[in-house]
Amino acid sequence: MCSTCGCAEGNLYIEGDEHRPHAAFRSAPFSPAPRPAAALTGITFAPRHSAAGDLHYGHGIAGTHAPGLSQRQMLEVEINVLDKNNQIAARNRARFATRKQLVLNLVSSPGSGKTTLLTQTLHRLNGRISCAVIEGDQQTVNDAARIRETGTPAIQVNTGKGCHLDAQMIADATPRLPLADNGILFIENVGNLVCPASFDLGERHKVAVLSVTEGEDKPLKYPHMFAAASLMLLNKVDLLPYLNFDVDKCMAYAREVNPEIDIMLVSATRGDGMDAWLNWLESERCA
């Protein structure tokens, strides 16, 4: 995971920092230098074999694997990285609590429809509740531009090679957004069901968005994310007549990894479940 591999280092851009931030990436594709682990450290790692011959790299004490690092080294690195992040997240959370702001961390795979869901949500909340959005992507400001078309202030955070937002990015971005007391801050994380599960941003809830086009076993394939989420929005349910997707099985899988998770069926395009979603937002904002 990126708490041990260092993939989040470098190339951070928060909208407004500089002019034309993406020119270098469009003209010079990134090519990482090779790093043969055995030559660097002599440390090897043997994955666990199953009876079927599959390889499982997540059974050590670190729960993951990186070439060149022992399980103990990885665990120490992860503890150090996450401890620093958690300290910043705690300061973020205290600041949000002082202003009675509801902060939600929206997480999903790429293409789940969370940006469309968010724009439709903001249209419905416009004029009723003060809202702001932090948009996380590796590159482009496209999604922040879409959000601003709803009349909602938004700022883009580009993570470069990084595959998730972290607490410091949120601390840097929030002062640039005009969000009133008792308002809602939506953080749309980078599309990734792995690394964002480990990084607390100071949010009150993680909201996992899963589309019916992805397969009902996603909660079992990526259990850490669904275990960390308070709410799962099963999106694009308008497509169910055209898909072989078992809703009941998907919900059972989600509750297998997180018995406390709330689940709502929604369609951002057709409007299914949007009233229930807005009612949930209002109840959490007033909690």
Tens of pLDDT, residue by residue over 78-133, are 666 678 999 999 999 999 999 999 999 999 999 999 999 999 999 999 999 999 99
Residue 93 has a pLDDT of: 98
Question: How many distinct structural domains can be found in the chain?
Answer: 1
Predicted TM-score (pTM) of the model is 0.79
Is residue 276 included in any domain, yes or no? yes
Decide if pLDDT at 238 tops 70: yes
Is residue 21 included in any domain, yes or no? no
CA neighbor of 1 nearest in space, from 74, 90, 105: 74
Is residue 81 included in any domain, yes or no? no
Residue 45 has a pLDDT of: 40
Is residue 166 included in any domain, yes or no? yes
Is residue 76 included in any domain, yes or no? no
| 185: amino acid identity, one letter | L
Considering the chain, what is the average pLDDT of its residues?
83
CA 163 vs. chain centroid, Å, equals 9
Is residue 13 included in any domain, yes or no? no
Q: How many CB atoms lie within 10 A of CB 54?
A: 9
Domain of 222? 100-285
Is residue 32 included in any domain, yes or no? no
pLDDT > 90 fraction of the chain, expressed in percent and rounded = 66
pLDDT > 70 fraction of the chain, expressed in percent and rounded = 73
Output the CA–CA distances (angstroms, integers) from residue 14 to 66, 103, 105, 155, in the order listed: 29, 19, 18, 7
Output the CA–CA distances (angstroms, integers) from residue 91 to 167, 171, 210, in the order listed: 9, 9, 30
What is the secondary structure of 40-52 as a DSSP string? HH-----PEEPTT
Residue range 36-65, pLDDT digits in tens: 333 323 333 444 555 655 544 445 554 555
Q: In this structure, what token pair is assigned to residue 93? A: 């959370």
CATH number at residue 225: 3.40.50.300
3-state helix, strand, coil in the chain (%, to 5): 40, 15, 45
Is residue 205 included in any domain, yes or no? yes
Q: List strands edge to edge, sheet with 184-188.
A: 13-14, 154-158, 131-137, 184-188, 102-108, 205-211, 231-235, 262-265
Q: Torsion angle of alpha carbons 90, 93, 97, 99, nearest 10°? A: 120
Residue range 124-160, pLDDT digits in tens: 999 999 999 999 988 888 999 999 999 999 999 998 8
Which residues, other chains included, contact 278 with Cβ-Cβ below 8 Å and sequence gap of 6+? 121, 124, 125
